[in-house]
Structure 1
Amino acid sequence: MTAQPSPPLPRPAAPETVTPDPGAGAVVPPPPAPEPAGPGLVERLGSPPRGVLLLGLAGTVLMFLGSFGGGGIPMRDPVIGNSALSFWRYGHGAMLATIVIYVGLVLMVWAWVRLGRAVLARRAGGRAVLTTAAVWMLPMLVTAPLFTRDPYSYLAQGALPLAGYDPYVVGPDTMGGIFTDNVHFFWQDTPAPYGPLFILLAQGVVLLVGQNVLLGVVLMRLTLVTGLLLLVAVLPALTRRLGGRPAVALWLAVANPVMVVHMVGGVHNDLLVVGLLPLAALLALRQRFVWAIVVASLAMAVKASAGIVLPFLVLVWAATLSGGFWSRLVRAGVPSVAVFGVVFGGATWLTGLGLGWLPALSAPSMIVNWLSVPTAVGQATASVAGMFAGEVNTQAFVDTFRFIGALVMGLLIALLWWRGRDDPRAAVRNAAIALALAAVLSPTTLPWYLSWGFCLLAMTPWSARGLQWVVAGSIWLMIVYFPDGETALYVPHYLLVCALAGVLAAASLLRPDPLGLRRGAPEAPSTAPTTDAGVRG
């Protein structure tokens, strides 16, 4: 089910006022002419910059080639495992494959930054961004998993019920077999932390592919990419309602290397969430409240964290009613709870597994990494305490600060909810912020968790400085895991080099030659806007 885009808003005839931005350090002139806004799925300005398209495509092709030796490859590869190409999977061949992946990633990131310049200069519109991103993603559709081994866990969790086991009670090691063999050792005995809808989808994929693990990865990816298609379908209309600019939103949310490489190349089920949540938000803003609750409930049936959006959608519904706030809230909340119960209960009933997945939600907390703010504070505090008190129980410190983080997260989300009570669009924006807070304040944070809120935040107005932060953060998040799925969070020199690369790329978004290396004619500077209004266009 896709939402029809709302009619485009009229563009002002007069050019924008030139606005100084002390943070950017320069006054940027307005674009020479207003951007046309014809009908259709996305903005129709411009065509894909050919050099940028080919540069990014070369990068993803290299990552595709390298993935079969340096990515999250299966333990036994029936395609190249016994062929003359088997050297690519072992020893120096695997090292060379990893280098190829990183070279491809650099090319793709550089192409993304150059595409961003064209978008901000209004030399490329939504159609150009969407076409470019689609071409970049083509090799990712058939690549081996990159920077993760999660799809093997998905397949094993889908195979467990087919083998007569409850995936919410036992882990893949109970079943054994080819799917289990490829699951990361950390998750071998861990029950599935995903909702009933996702378990049903995983079962369907396993039924279709049998024991073919390679085909299973590809089919799982194609199943999850439906979430990306939903995101693309609703993005233009929702972006205009939230005050952003569709071309910028597409560049941030769809062409972003985190989406292209991590989400699509890595095959994460968060892809479904980033499609369903924007659709639910758009339906709510169009006052199709029952359908909005249905879609958001389906998102929660994939990942429980998506349920954070539901109370905010109730606010959007309540804002359209008459009477006092609490009266409106009850009249919107009661049917919302009823709809949620029917949808979520139906998905649970279809699996035949009950609510056993709720206790399994604690499984990700087994991961201890400092991307989670409470976990990082707990680890740092334990280290400092150890300097004075000798050996300390680090896990006790981590657990304490995780509890504090949960309280802080709950209070902040409640505050965001309250502040969105009178403005439907503010409620949607605050829901996105709440999802982002949940990603960084939960006991465990993984790079792709930030996509939950960012899929909506990308559609809001952005300053040029804010976009630079997104570039730096996106690039850094790309590399906190190695291509084979192992963590890189505790390799400081590697992280420092990658952080510097992110800073350089961020500077390059507004300054084509930030290091002053060119002696000839520089690339035409992008007339990047420096205010929210300018970026919104």
Structure 2
Amino acid sequence: MATTPSLPRTSAEVAQEAQHPLAPANAYAIPIRTTMLGLLGVALVALGGTGAGATLKRDPLIADTTLSWIRYGHGHDLATMILYLGLGLVIWAWIRLGRLIRWGQVSTFAVLVAIAAWTLPLLFAPPLFSKDIYSYLAQGQLALTGFDPYAIGPAVLQSTLSENVSWVWQHTPAPYGPLFILVAKAVVWATNASVVGGVVAMRLVLAGGLVLLCWALPGLARHLGGRADVALWLAAANPLILIHLIGGAHNDMLMVGLMAAGVLLVLDRRHVLGFALVALAFSVKATAVVVIPFLVWVWAARLDGDQRKRFKKAVGGGAVVFVGVFVACTLVAGVSLGWIPALRSSSMIINWLSIPSAIGDFVRMVVNWFVRVDGGIFLGVARALGSILLLWIAWKQWRAAKDGGPEAIRRAAITMLAVALLSPATLPWYFSWPLALAAGLAWTTGGLVVISLASVFLLLVTFPNGDTALYSWGFLTFALAVSIVAARSLVRPDPFGLSSRYE
């Protein structure tokens, strides 16, 4: 992903794209072949996921039926092949759609149709590339049965929901905000603690976040100087978003949707409602708070008086709204603030997507070639230095955003990218945070190529059952090769030079 999300489009690039030989389509034209290609892909992903995804230990829809073979041996291998075939088709369709957008062949409406078509099969698929949905449901059951999900882990339930939670999180308190605990509690109640019903119901709730994101992106592009169709393609039609946040059923989808909508409302001068939505996003997942200081500058720039007075007014108004909404969510959910210290639980995740964790782990490995030393020392020091660097970047970006306006949102996107890269733990879908804010910026062709490469690579670095592929070097080499071909295909329909004509 590009270090600077906002890359200005040159007049030469605009002219070059405008001169493409294909004539622009009308506002409601839909690229049927590309849309159906992606639909076939997600359908195959969903089908393959029944055997190769993050499946249940005892699936009532599969167990003791003639379909149970798909979970074992050659059946599992076949399911995996089908899933990856579908994934390849989804990537192909997304890149094709991106080319059509660059050439001006499709409208925003066509992108929205593609997003809807590619989302629908994922709503009813087994969990894909993650088991986190089982943790969400178990945490909701904890709250529903009177336990404090911020004090204990799902293991105490000994229920159908808790038995499917990854062993890593069995004894870990919930690190999510009160609004999400309330949502999870409601889903478990409405589905009578059904695992299958709970997965589908939770996905429908999270799809509301996708709807909010699709509503917000065109407005963000209007304010930030980008294009609505490009923004929707980057941050909503992106397989990284659809497969991981909808297929994987991550609550980041709800947080990102609320955050993007809140930012748009603030830019539209509906400051109170905008801050309220960002507070709701924070009440789902804490990361959303990063954008609040930047929105204060946007609000302050529109008030009367000198800069200090305007800043104080904006801070006061924003704090009242933000704290008020958060307190209301906490009271309605009937929980404490225990989720804030529980945020430390993510530090158990160690992978090289987090730059500090990668450096600490690498130094540990090198040192242990010569002498045996506790590796936790290197990891702790690297993460501490990473946190200091993150605070410095956030401070510099915040100070540079003091004039408010669209520049403040660009700076917020850069800071959110720094959060994803420099946090103690980083997972592939964390990059949806900066992408949601940056998608509305004006992107050069080179920037779109980089984002395409990064998105496809991040999509592939997790195995369908939720295990990480980040240390399977042969697989990573293959994933990088696929990502390079996909990114090159965005600007060259025939990357291998097999044909001289456009598709």
Tell me if TM exceeds 0.5: yes
Give the letter aligned to residue 388 of structure 2: L
1:500 positional shift: 0.8
1:17 positional shift: 8.6
The answer for the alignment partner of 2:314 in structure 1 is 332
| CA deviation vs aligned residue, 1:387-426 (integer Å, no higher than 9, x gap) | 3x42222221111111111111111111111111113111
- Of 108, 119, 124, the match for 1:126: 108
Could you tell me whether the CA contact under 8 Å between 1:46 and 1:123 is conserved in 2? no
| CA deviation vs aligned residue, 1:128-167 (integer Å, no higher than 9, x gap) | 1111121111111100011001110000000001222110
| CA deviation vs aligned residue, 1:308-366 (integer Å, no higher than 9, x gap) | 11111111111112333222111110121122221111111122221111111111111
The yes-or-no answer on 1:19 pairing with 2:12 is yes
The alignment covers a number of residue pairs equal to: 495
The whole-number CA distance in structure 2 between the counterparts of 1:380 and 1:47 is 51
Could you tell me whether the CA contact under 8 Å between 1:72 and 1:145 is conserved in 2? yes
1:110 positional shift: 0.6
| CA deviation vs aligned residue, 1:467-520 (integer Å, no higher than 9, x gap) | 1111111111111110011111110010011101100111111011111123xx
The whole-number CA distance in structure 2 between the counterparts of 1:257 and 1:20 is 26
Give the letter aligned to residue 156 of structure 2: T
The yes-or-no answer on 1:294 pairing with 2:273 is no
The whole-number CA distance in structure 2 between the counterparts of 1:487 and 1:281 is 33
The whole-number CA distance in structure 1 between the counterparts of 2:309 and 2:275 is 19
Judging changes above 3 Å, is the alpha-carbon distance between structure 1 residues 44 and 278 closer, same or farther for their aligned structure 2 residues? farther
The answer for the alignment partner of 2:205 in structure 1 is 223
- Of 334, 346, 365, the match for 1:383: 365
The whole-number CA distance in structure 2 between the counterparts of 1:234 and 1:20 is 26
Give the letter aligned to residue 189 of structure 1: H
The yes-or-no answer on 1:488 pairing with 2:492 is no
Judging changes above 3 Å, is the alpha-carbon distance between structure 1 residues 491 and 378 closer, same or farther for their aligned structure 2 residues? same
- 1:335-350 pair list within 5 angstroms: 335-350=317-332
- Of 488, 491, 494, the match for 1:507: 488
| CA deviation vs aligned residue, 1:162-198 (integer Å, no higher than 9, x gap) | 2221100100001110000110111111100000000
- Of 424, 427, 435, the match for 2:405: 424
The whole-number CA distance in structure 1 between the counterparts of 2:336 and 2:364 is 39
The whole-number CA distance in structure 2 between the counterparts of 1:379 and 1:122 is 46
The whole-number CA distance in structure 1 between the counterparts of 2:138 and 2:311 is 42
The yes-or-no answer on 1:212 pairing with 2:212 is no
**TM-score of the pair, normalised by structure 2:** 0.95
Judging changes above 3 Å, is the alpha-carbon distance between structure 1 residues 51 and 415 closer, same or farther for their aligned structure 2 residues? same
Could you tell me whether the CA contact under 8 Å between 1:18 and 1:30 is conserved in 2? no
The whole-number CA distance in structure 1 between the counterparts of 2:52 and 2:417 is 31
**TM-score of the pair, normalised by structure 1:** 0.89
Q: Show structure 1 runs of 5+ residues with no match.
A: 1-15, 22-26, 37-42, 525-537
Equivalent position SS for 2:339: coil
Could you tell me whether the CA contact under 8 Å between 1:163 and 1:175 is conserved in 2? no
RMSD: 1.9
Q: Show structure 2 runs of 5+ residues with no match.
A: 1-8
The whole-number CA distance in structure 2 between the counterparts of 1:496 and 1:409 is 30
1:223 positional shift: 0.6
Identity %: 44
The answer for the alignment partner of 2:501 in structure 1 is 522
The whole-number CA distance in structure 1 between the counterparts of 2:463 and 2:400 is 40
The whole-number CA distance in structure 1 between the counterparts of 2:265 and 2:457 is 34
Judging changes above 3 Å, is the alpha-carbon distance between structure 1 residues 44 and 272 closer, same or farther for their aligned structure 2 residues? farther
Equivalent position SS for 1:138: helix
The yes-or-no answer on 1:449 pairing with 2:427 is no
The whole-number CA distance in structure 1 between the counterparts of 2:108 and 2:193 is 41
